[in-house]
A = this chain, B = another copy of it.
Amino acid sequence: MVTVEKVRNDRLLRALARQPVDTTPVWIMRQAGRYLPEYRKVRAEAGSFTKLYRTPELACKVTLQPLERYPLDAAILFSDILTVPDAMGLGLEFTEGEGPRFARPVRSTRDILRLNVPDPEEELGYVMAAMRLIRSELSGRVPLIGFAGSPWTLATYMVEGHSSSNFRHIKGLMLQLPAEMHRLLKVVADAVASYLNAQILAGAQAIMIFDTWGGVLTSRDYLEFSLQYMRQIIDSLIREHDGQKVPVILYTKGGGAWLEEMAQSRCDAIGIDWTLDLGVARQRVGHQVSLQGNLDPCVLYANPERIRKEVGDVLASFGVGNGHVFNLGHGIHPQVNPDHVAALVDAVHELSHPYHE
């Protein structure tokens, strides 16, 4: 059982609800990760990435590492988006330097028919155990974010079998057998909804859905094959737990053209990548949802002075008012100097005061 405690730093939850905050909250996509030497140490001791994310104590440990270093306003579960298709029986493997690979990719109608929604407390019990442990260790310091990949994004890996640059198999399926594609997306959406609800019951206080590959679709196909299923998930989620609203952040990399449609999905916030001007995004949908983002991750290669200037530009672009969660526009790169992250976090907190007076 999760004990209900007050979140002491509730800036994230307030910003996601478009309520006033003293300073703009900040967290970083992939904040627990390879750029941190303490992460690399635990990763090396674990022996494999799989061991790391499947062992609740280790997943908890690396989740908390960035919070020891930086005054971040949120923790996010350390895990991988591909745990769901793995639990659906595809056999996830991580090979050094090559990224994820499925032993049994989905390539036929038979493969699709064979898929079932996994029981998250059984096949994904290690994630729920990690979530409970992290909540307990955090003891209300900052909110804990749970997450999953979007059905379209998960399906790209499930059908291609690995990371893809041309999306040959999945787009062939989508175009030639759209009914089969929908059948696949439906079962994945059900699995993701069930997984996220289990995360909420295990302690997740906000949810983020990562649609890493929605941006490779045409407008028509994005609405039909990606956004539709994210909407279905949002409609199935537990939206209040332990007397607290559980906000949902929707992120489609390269999704700048579809903000209006995303804002109508009952999400609370939209994650914006760095290619879009945040002020423009706010004009378009800021009256409906909060916005999360959107510093170019490459800015962290620059020196601290320049990072501070760029943080200031993003804050100014959003402008005065509520509803901004600072983040990068995509995950932090593994080569980044950890001191530069400190410069970013401090700059957000220091420079954002004037926008909240």
Contacts and interface: CB of A to CB of B under 8 A. Distances in A.
Contacts of A280: 219
B175 A219 contact: no
Given A220-B277, A275-B217, A275-B219, A299 B175 contact: yes
Q: How many copies does the complex hold?
A: 2
A171 to B, nearest CB: 4
Contacts of A333: 166, 168
Nearest to A309: B175
Give chain A's interface residue range (CB within 8 Å of chain B). 35 or more
Most buried by B among A175, A218, A274, A310: A218
Interface string A257-299: 1000000000000000011110010000000000000001111
A7 interface: no
A187 to B, nearest CB: 23
Nearest to A168: B301
A338 interface: no
Q: Which 6 A-B pairs have CB atoms at the shortest separation, nearest pair first?
A: A171-B298, A175-B302, A172-B301, A219-B277, A176-B302, A175-B306
7 contacts: A166-B335, A168-B333, A219-B275, A220-B277, A254-B275, A257-B275, A257-B277
